Amino acid sequence: MLHERPTYAEAVVLKGGESIVVQWTCDSAYRFFPLIEHPDLGLTLHPFDSATNKTLCLVGRAEVRDWVDVMDCHRLLQPLGYLIWAACAPRARLPRRCKDPFYNPMSILDEARRSARYTQTELAELAFDGSVPDAADLARNWKGMLEQADEIVALLPPEQAGCCVLGADLELYTGTGGALAQELSQGELTFHEGRIGGAWPRFLNRPPHRHGG
């Protein structure tokens, strides 16, 4: 066992000369999407909920593996700006439930700028499929991600902070810059709120800035 806390555990599992790090966490019950069933691990969080939880690690508990994981989420799932957007909500929207009521998008961005700075030595402690990436290259990519996140946060409507941003097809939206501005102006985006147990979004009427049902 590497780490063990009341709501979190991390261990190395060994079999046949191979190893993998497995993490367990207590379910908060508040999610954007329902749990999904993994053939080996049983019920697991939807990848988007895992990504928003990882994004919140940038505030306070950020470790090098969290930084790398968030960059993978940005690349493979949805740009960082949208993950930050979904991970919090300003106090003006309370008592509506949200991932973290104590941070708004800009405060998480500020924390991310301060906390995510790691060395080549720290990266070398992680296991990668292939060679260890260059810390300087990752830092440059991270700077670009933060600049893009600034742009996304500036364009999205503040009253929808704390929502998952979906496209017209109800898939995670990945557009940025001019594409984001245009689809916002045309009311093509859906803002899907989390809830206890999560919920799959569905089409309702199509007013500007729709909410997921």
Q: Which tens digits make up the pLDDT trace of 32-85?
A: 999 888 787 677 889 999 999 889 888 866 688 888 999 999 999 999 999 999
Residues of 61-91 as b/e, b for ≥16 C-beta within 10 angstroms?
A: ebebbbbbbbbebbeebbbbbbbbbbbbbbe
- Mean pLDDT of the region 91-112: 65
Q: Do 165 and 185 touch, CB atoms closer than 8 A?
A: no
Higher local confidence (pLDDT), 208 or 39 = 39
Domain ranges of the chain: 46-211
Residue for token digits 């991932």?
A: 99
Computed over every residue of the chain, the mean pLDDT equals: 83
What does the DSSP 8-state code read for residue 172? B
Higher local confidence (pLDDT), 208 or 83 = 83
pLDDT in tens, 174-195: 999 999 999 999 999 999 998 8
Question: What is the C-alpha separation between 162 and 87, in angstroms, rounded?
Answer: 6
Question: What is the C-alpha separation between 108 and 104, in angstroms, rounded?
Answer: 7
Size of the chain in residues: 213
Tell me if the pTM is above 0.85: no
Residue by residue, DSSP assigns 103-115 as --HHHHHHHHHHH
